[in-house]
Amino acid sequence: MNSPNRMLQAAKVLQESEKVLIFTHQRPDGDALGSSFGLKYFLENTGKTAVVFIPGAIPHRHTKLFAGFISEITQEEFNTFDTFVSVDCANPDRLGKPELLSIDELRQKRYINIDHHKGNSMESGFFNLVSGETASCSELLVKIFCAAKIEIPEICATPLLTGMMTDTGCFRFSNTSADTMRNAAILLERGAELEKIVNALFFSKPLNQVRFENELMRDHLKFAAEGRIAYAFIPPELAKKYDFNIKEDEGLIDLLREIDGVVIAMLLYTGPGGIKISMRSKDSAFPVGPVARFFNGGGHELAAGATFDGSAGEAEIAVVDKLAQLFE
Ligand code: 5GP
Ligand code: MN
């Protein structure tokens, strides 16, 4: 548990920065973006310079909510920042682009690590705030601002609520606490645009994606452990057929999770470093976190992932076997 005093210290080190580079994990989701932009706007509002660095494009659904980040940075530009902050990034492997951001180099700097993943291994030598009990990194920022009695600027409210809604599955997942609801209420009071968030996150699916999902569910859905595990490998040619960008997969796994009787949902697809495994559990008695860690991945107990070094077939057999053991 992080004490209010620790939250206060976090606010202090953030406020003592002048020119801040903010970054997060690769393939950023709503919480990664929400906490990055929530922090950027907060710092700017207090007269600081803050830049969000995201190597690569952001998912389609987020383009209406988040704009104004850099995707390239030279060593010279990098050296002009006095403070570096990572948000929602659990380990150095997830930083991506090691040629642009190296953890060893960051650790020589005034580097602040703010995250809500229990197993966080970013390990800043300067300041770490890792709160595994907080549902989203965006909510952790709300807690920091509240501990420091800072009135959250209106411009921060929409990004932070986007992050909170993303990581709680719109307040459906068990990580939603009474505090989560209170913190969301604070953001609404500060002017968060709920309708804009809901439309962007839930009612903006491109038609090609809908058609892709239909074929995926019709032809590629498999079950194990008497229907308690649902899984699917996404064939690259299927994604190509519908011009579906696998990087837009956020939410795709819910097509499997929502099925009655399914306890664990898993998606597999071909990623840059191997076969990407994405897992969700609906029941804390059957956590997927340990399975992800077994395959050298990580995440949370009910939402975790890993990258498998081998073929899709091998990944499918190995991971389904390990998941099925949970039910033996
Ligand atoms: P997703 O399934 O949405 O990609 O990720 C779910 C959770 O698992 C996230 O919190 C993410 O940090 C974690 N995760 C996903 N893939 C990996 C991976 O390859 N390695 C590690 N360490 N964590 C992962
Ligand atoms: Mn998160």
Tell me how far the alpha carbon of residue 76 lies from the centroid of ligand 1, in angstroms. 32
Residue nearest to atom 6 of ligand 1 (CA): 304
Residue nearest to atom 11 of ligand 1 (CA): 299
- Mean pLDDT (10-residue bins), the chain, 328 residues: 87 98 95 98 98 92 95 94 98 83 93 96 97 98 97 98 97 96 98 97 93 98 98 97 88 96 98 94 97 95 96 98 97
Nearest residue to 30 (alpha-carbon basis) of 201, 190, 183:
201
Kindly tell me the sign of the dihedral angle through the C-alpha atoms of 326, 164, 179, 25.
positive
Q: Which of 25, 61, 94, 270 has most ligand 1 atoms within 8 Å of CB, for mutation?
A: 94
Tell me how far the alpha carbon of residue 32 lies from the centroid of ligand 2, in angstroms. 6
Enter the tokens of residue 37: 């932009």
> Which ligand 1 atom sits nearest the alpha carbon of residue 25?
12
Q: In whole angstroms, what is the distance from residue 293 CA to residue 322 CA? A: 11
> Which ligand 1 atom sits nearest the alpha carbon of residue 90?
12
Distances from the Cα of 250 to the Cα of 41, 112, 120, 241, 245, angstroms: 25, 27, 22, 19, 11
Tell me how far the alpha carbon of residue 88 lies from the centroid of ligand 2, in angstroms. 5
Q: In whole angstroms, what is the distance from residue 103 CA to residue 109 CA? A: 10
pTM to 2 decimals?
0.90
Residue showing tokens 């970013």: 122
Tell me how far the alpha carbon of residue 226 lies from the centroid of ligand 2, in angstroms. 31
CB-based contacts of 235: which residues, under 8 Å, 6+ apart? 220
Question: Domains in the chain, start-ordered, CATH in brackets?
Answer: 4-201 (3.90.1640.10), 207-327 (3.10.310.30)
**pLDDT value of residue 1:** 61
Tell me how far the alpha carbon of residue 180 lies from the centroid of ligand 2, in angstroms. 14
Q: What are the pocket residues of ligand 1 if the criterion is a CB atom closer than 6 Å to any ligand atom?
A: 90-91, 117, 278, 297-300, 303-307
Which strands form 49-53's sheet, in the order they lie side by side? Answer: 49-53, 19-23, 83-87, 111-115, 127-130
> To 5 degrees, how large is the angle CA 204–CA 180–CA 205?
10
Residue nearest to atom 9 of ligand 1 (CA): 299
Phi–psi pair at 5, nearest 5 degrees: -65, -40
> Which ligand 1 atom sits nearest the alpha carbon of residue 27?
4
**pLDDT value of residue 117:** 95
Tell me how far the alpha carbon of residue 297 lies from the centroid of ligand 1, in angstroms. 7
Nearest residue to 26 (alpha-carbon basis) of 252, 204, 276:
276
Q: In whole angstroms, what is the distance from residue 202 CA to residue 150 CA? A: 31
Least distant ligand from the CA of 25:
1
